[in-house]
Copies of this chain bind each other. A is one copy, B any other.
Amino acid sequence: MCFTPICGGTGAGKPMLNSADASFVARLEVRLGKGALRACTAADLEEPRGLFRGQGAVVARPGTTAEVSAVLSMCNEALVPVVPLGGGTGLVGGQVMERGPLPVLLSLERMVAIRDVSPENNTMTVEAGAVLADIHAAALNAGRMFPLTLASEGSCRIGGNLATNAGGVNVLRYGSARELCLGLEAVLADGTIVGGLKRLRKDNTGYDIRNLMIGSEGSLGVITAAVLRLFPLPKALHTAFLAVPSPTDALALLHGLQAQFGDAISGFELIHQTGFAFLAETGFGLASPLAAPATWYVLLEISGAVALADMLEEALAGMLEKGLLSDAVIAQNETQRRHFWHIRETIPAANKRIGAISSHDISVPVAEVPALIARASAALPPHLRVNCFGHMGDGNLHYNIFPPKGENRAGYMKQREELARLVFDIVAEFGGSFSAEHGVGRLKVDDLERYGDAGKLAAMRRIKAALDPNGIMNPGAVLRVLGRA
């Protein structure tokens, strides 16, 4: 079975891709050695939401950048597709190719070394397969922090975090994965190794290939190693759980706190009462730490000097008086602080148990968040349940739609596309994004074509054709494979 890969122009004259057949796999094995290949497991072909089911001929497990280069150049020559595998935790199907010729799955699972931790430079050099939690531990061990924080940190790999420009709860202060990476090494489709493992804060020597690879979701090449930015550990963390009358008040609260604390605000997460309802319904047994029920909550974190604790208490008291919040509790110790964050981080698990009809990882300019929530809420069928929560400080909300209480989503799945369209149309009106942090993958290729800028798409296609002319890299991710309906 063959199909035409993506290309920049008309597609004329582009080669067809081939399945990785037994003879190709045998040649790969000769090149890499016996232990470097393994059969595909169920876990390799699944993704967390179960929306796509992957396929693959074999998992290649190169142990060095040179071996990654060898795999890619062999695949490129034989026109065999390659799907890079990190921790497999992506939410948009970027890690699973469900149709077309059988690909080689290129896993970074053997390239997990933390090569260098340099607290005096605030840098760490890691191989792409290093698991995020191991990176956190190595940083802490050196008296530093690596701020990228995700629910999946126990299994996701830094190469995947970078390939998808992962976000998480610390973006407000420290930025996304892109902003936490100083240097990158990657291999292009034809095996060309693009070196760049410099531990430099400033380096203006040519085009920004690093940022081009970051966020390209494995469709331009394979990230093999990176230099990460470390940060001093904050002197103290001040964490509060707040009840707010409305998103508008939450926004006023954010502005008031920013005026006073500047970029010391490291977390500002919005939570709706539906989040607590779901936590109760699904048996997680996590209730609000505040006595009286409220409709909206904010999980606030401020990092910095110990002296900020008093300032925070005073600031919140003032805002309570103004009516911007109706209740507040400040964590008195690390256990309580962890409990607050545990609530926030368990909401996605509760959502999964309830079963969303349609989930949306959206962003708008932060001042538009209240208006967006109001518009979307008015537009949706009132019998459906919405769990809206997330990184309000970044203008990034997870806006997830569920069936009425007690009903299964199965009967509603035919409304899925229509609901997504409705939400994304509203997001577009506000100048927002249909994928703030999850990426495009295979799930949102249509959305990119519908909502993306035509000139940007044209530029992307030209870059894809220039760096991967045969279209072997993660076919169907980010950009449509021509010839596929």
Q: Which residues of A contact B (CB under 8 A)?
A: 8, 118, 120-123, 164-165, 167, 171-172, 175-176, 178-179, 188, 192-196, 198-209, 211-212, 214-216, 220, 231-232, 234-235, 251, 255, 258-260, 262-264, 304-305, 307-308, 311, 363-368, 391, 394-396, 431-440, 444, 448, 451-460, 462-467, 478
Q: Which residues of B contact A262 (CB under 8 A)?
A: 231-232, 234-235, 304
Q: Given contacts A459-B188, A466-B462, A466-B465, are A207 and B215 in contact (CB under 8 A)?
A: yes
Q: Is the beta-carbon distance between A439 and B204 smaller than 8 angstroms? A: yes
Q: Which 8 A-B pairs rank lowest in CB-CB distance, beginning with the nearest? A: A466-B466, A211-B211, A195-B453, A120-B367, A203-B433, A202-B436, A194-B455, A199-B365
Q: Which residues of B contact A432 (CB under 8 A)?
A: 198, 200
Q: Is the beta-carbon distance between A178 and B234 smaller than 8 angstroms? A: no
CB A206 to nearest CB in B, in angstroms, measures 5
Q: Is the beta-carbon distance between B467 and A431 smaller than 8 angstroms? A: no
Q: Is the beta-carbon distance between B365 and A121 smaller than 8 angstroms? A: yes
Partner of A467, one of B164, B437, B459: B459
Q: Which residues of B contact A464 (CB under 8 A)?
A: 207
Partner of A200, one of B193, B433, B440: B433
Q: Which residues of B contact A455 (CB under 8 A)?
A: 188, 192-195
Please give 5 more A-B residue pairs, beta carbons under 8 A apart, in addition to A196-B456, A207-B460.
A122-B366, A202-B391, A208-B214, A307-B307, A465-B466
Q: Which residues of B contact A202 (CB under 8 A)?
A: 167, 171, 176, 363, 391, 394-396, 433, 436-437
Q: Given contacts A232-B258, A307-B307, are A453 and B196 in contact (CB under 8 A)?
A: yes
Q: Which residues of B contact A478 (CB under 8 A)?
A: 206-207
Partner of A206, one of B175, B264, B396, B457: B457
Q: Is the beta-carbon distance between B167 and A209 smaller than 8 angstroms? A: no
Q: Which residues of B contact A391 (CB under 8 A)?
A: 202
Q: What residue of chain B has the Cβ atom nearest to residue A175's Cβ? A: B179
Q: Given contacts A202-B176, A215-B207, A439-B204, are A459 and B192 in contact (CB under 8 A)?
A: yes
CB A238 to nearest CB in B, in angstroms, measures 13
Q: Which residues of B contact A462 (CB under 8 A)?
A: 466-467
Give the distance in Å from the alpha carbon of A203 to the alpha carbon of B437 in the complex: 6
Q: Max chain B CB contacts within 10 Å: which of A122, A391, A458, A459?
A: A459
Q: Is the beta-carbon distance between A179 and B176 smaller than 8 angstroms? A: no
Q: Which residues of B contact A363 (CB under 8 A)?
A: 200-203
Q: Which residues of B contact A394 (CB under 8 A)?
A: 201-202
Q: Which residues of B contact A178 (CB under 8 A)?
A: 208, 211
Give the distance in Å from the alpha carbon of A51 to the alpha carbon of B235 in the complex: 49
Q: Max chain B CB contacts within 10 Å: which of A120, A123, A432?
A: A120
Q: Which residues of B contact A258 (CB under 8 A)?
A: 122, 232
CB A123 to nearest CB in B, in angstroms, measures 7
CB A133 to nearest CB in B, in angstroms, measures 22
Give the distance in Å from the alpha carbon of A283 to the alpha carbon of B464 in the complex: 56
Q: Which residues of B contact A396 (CB under 8 A)?
A: 201-202
CB A186 to nearest CB in B, in angstroms, measures 9
Q: Is the beta-carbon distance between B255 and A198 smaller than 8 angstroms? A: no
Q: Is the beta-carbon distance between A200 and B395 smaller than 8 angstroms? A: yes
Give the distance in Å from the alpha carbon of A122 to the alpha carbon of B438 in the complex: 24
Q: Which residues of B contact A366 (CB under 8 A)?
A: 120-122, 201
Q: Max chain B CB contacts within 10 Å: which of A192, A209, A364, A437?
A: A209
Q: Which residues of B contact A212 (CB under 8 A)?
A: 207-208, 211-212, 463
Give the distance in Å from the alpha carbon of A152 to the alpha carbon of B122 in the complex: 30
Give the distance in Å from the alpha carbon of A164 to the alpha carbon of B206 in the complex: 10
CB A434 to nearest CB in B, in angstroms, measures 7
Q: Max chain B CB contacts within 10 Å: which of A263, A432, A439, A440?
A: A263
CB A27 to nearest CB in B, in angstroms, measures 24
Q: Which residues of B contact A395 (CB under 8 A)?
A: 121, 200-202
